[in-house]
Amino acid sequence: MKIGCECGSTIFDYCNVPQKGHLIPDQKWDDVFDAVEDEVIAPLSTSKISEEDAYTKSRHIISEESRLMWQCIDCGRLYIDDLNGELQCYVPASDVTSKQILRGRESST
Binding site for Zn ion (CB under 5 A): 5, 7, 9, 72, 74-75, 77
Residue nearest to Zn ion as judged by C-beta position: 72
CB of 78 to Zn ion, least distance (A): 10
**Closest distance to Zn ion from the beta carbon of 13 (Å):** 15
The SS3 call for residue 100 is coil
Cβ nearer to Zn ion, comparing 33 with 90: 90
Cα–Cα distance measured from residue 46 to residue 107, given in angstroms and rounded to the nearest whole number: 32
**In the complex, minimum distance from the CB of residue 73 to Zn ion, in angstroms, rounded to a whole number:** 8
Helices (H), the chain: 26-36, 42-45, 51-65
Q: Which residues are within 8 A (CB) of 23 and not within 5 positions of it... i.e. 6 or more apart?
A: 66, 67, 68, 69, 80
Closer residue to Zn ion (CB): 20 or 77: 77
